[in-house]
Amino acid sequence: MRAVQFEKYGPPSVLHVAEVDAPHAGPGEIRIAVRASGISPGETLIRSGAMRDLVPATLPYRTGFDAAGVVDEAGEGVTGVAPGDAVFGMTTMEARGANADFAVLAAWAPKPAAWSWEEAGGAAGAVETSTRVLDRLAVGAGQTLLVQGAAGGVGTVAVQMAAARGATVIGTASERNHDFLRSLGAEPTTYGAGLAGRVRALVPDGVDAVFDCAGGALPDLVAIAGDPARVVTIAPDLTAASHGVHMSHGAPADETGEALGAGADPLAVHGLAIAADLAGQGRLRVPVAAVFPLAEAAAAHELSETRHARGKIVLVP
């Protein structure tokens, strides 16, 4: 089968399509024939080598963390899904390799009929991450949430999932994305200098929590929330600890529900079923910024590196 991989750190051009052996579903896993898969901004940092001290890559490194497709193998102990079913989901953190003809998923949910393959292919990582952070911040009805970086792959999903919980959502983006954010259910404002004043003008009583998808503005976000414990960032902002802000990354949970990794939060895979349900009600969509064939994975990474894609970037076979 074909898979996108790189053998050495470097610019997007190190990515290429390789002919490799197809993986097989282990216990508790399924294999899908991939119809679409997502680009993960974090993997652009792994590919460039910028994260090599924190997250060393095992080379060759096969990219892609989330995908949608048709089940063609179910591993030992798997119930409730059968070959031929359409699903979306995510690989394990270690295996990855979803940017390929076949992928092994460790967590999945039925593909909502309302979503195109492209939407479903880019959904799982954003849904899991949004659920993990909204759970940690205990975002619920009657609360006000600020989503910093609301027009990106994660932010667009976080806005909708927070609104579905009954929260009032303020989202930051550049001006050209403000109508787009309104269409997702957020009150938009611009990020950058003066953010605290703009937020205060929108919600004089203040915000209850901040979900940071962008990094680089934690002092302002802590001041807006009034307490660093009410701010969670997912961006690789290495100043987080010095500001008392939790930087969330996911790891599988053990049988007690605790994450199997230092400083990690348990992967919120229950979010996949919640998202499928919301999609069925027409309350969650996955905005797709651009679609590329596998062979143009380098162009997809280039677009991701602009940090101005609107929604998810997706690869199709």
Ligand X SMILES: NC(=O)c1ccc[n+]([C@@H]2O[C@H](COP(=O)([O-])OP(=O)(O)OC[C@H]3O[C@@H](n4cnc5c(N)ncnc54)[C@H](OP(=O)(O)O)[C@@H]3O)[C@@H](O)[C@H]2O)c1
Stretch touching ligand X by CB under 6 A, among 69-77, 98-106, 233-241, 276-284 = 233-241
Here's the x/- map for ligand X, 245-284, by CB under 6 A: it reads as: ---xxx----------------------------------
105 vs 235 by CB, closer to ligand X? 235
Residue (29 or 128) nearer to ligand X, CB: 128
246-247, strands of its sheet edge to edge = 186-189, 168-172, 144-148, 209-212, 231-233, 246-247
Number of residues in contact with ligand X under rule CB under 6 A? 30
Residue 222 lies near ligand X (rule: CB under 6 A) = no
Region 28-57 residues binding ligand X, contact defined as CB under 6 A:
41-42
With contacts defined by CB under 6 A, name the span among 82-90, 96-104, 194-202, 243-251 that binds ligand X: 243-251
Site for ligand X in 127-186 (CB under 6 A): 129, 148-149, 151-155, 172-174, 177
User: What are the beta bridge partners of residue 90?
Assistant: 66, 107
Distance of alpha carbon 8 from alpha carbon 31, whole angstroms: 27
What is the distance between the alpha carbons of residues 135 and 47, in angstroms, rounded to a whole number?
A: 30
Listed in sequence order, the DSSP H helices in 97-213 are 117-121, 123-136, 153-164, 178-184, 195-202
267 secondary structure, DSSP code: P
Task: Choose which of 15, 34, 235, 279 interacts with ligand X (CB under 6 A).
Answer: 235
For residue 283, give Cα distances in angstroms to 34, 39, 99, 160: 25, 23, 27, 7
Nearer residue to ligand X within complex by CB, 235 or 274? 235
Q: Do the beta carbons of residue 159 and residue 134 sit within 8 Å?
A: no
**Three-state DSSP class for 212?**
strand
Residue with the shortest CB distance to ligand X: 152
Q: Which residue is it, tokens 């940092």? A: 45
Shortest reach from residue 286's CB to ligand X, in Å: 11
* Complex with ligand X: residue 124 or 294, whichever CB lies closer: 124
- The contact set with ligand X (CB under 6 A) reads 41-42, 125, 129, 148-149, 151-155, 172-174, 177, 191, 213-214, 216, 234-236, 248-250, 304, 307-310
